[in-house]
A = this chain, B = another copy of it.
């Protein structure tokens, strides 16, 4: 959890640079996101944050996630009716969610690069790759 302190500090520094205040709830949310293995719903973030600081409320988590997203430090995406999933902004990639096991995978940006190019040339549509959410059935659940 504290292994990647550098990454957390980068995020906190960006907050400082934008004149945002560094608070305990924010530290906890950032720590959770940095330590997250995969994409988390707001509720999952809240639960993990509350292991560290039980008093942090869900609404605060939502507000922090929104602030981080405004600074392009965090990205969220939707899949089906389900709750949105959040993760630290990293390299550009697409999301794909299995309708059976509900796990969200990242797929290489190559595939989406091509898709984006085709949409632009065929329809003049500028794809927001960070917000991609495709549904389907993953390899594991197909067998």
Contact = CB atoms under 8 A, between A and B. Distances in A.
Interface residues of A, number: 33
A80 B80 contact: no
A134 B132 contact: yes
Contacts of A118: 111, 114
Q: Is the interface of A mostly helix, strand, loop or mixed?
A: mixed
A54 interface: no
Interface string A45-76: 00000000000000000000000000000000
A114 B122 CA distance: 14
Interface of A: 78-81, 84, 96, 98-99, 105, 107-108, 111, 114-115, 118-119, 122-128, 131-139, 142
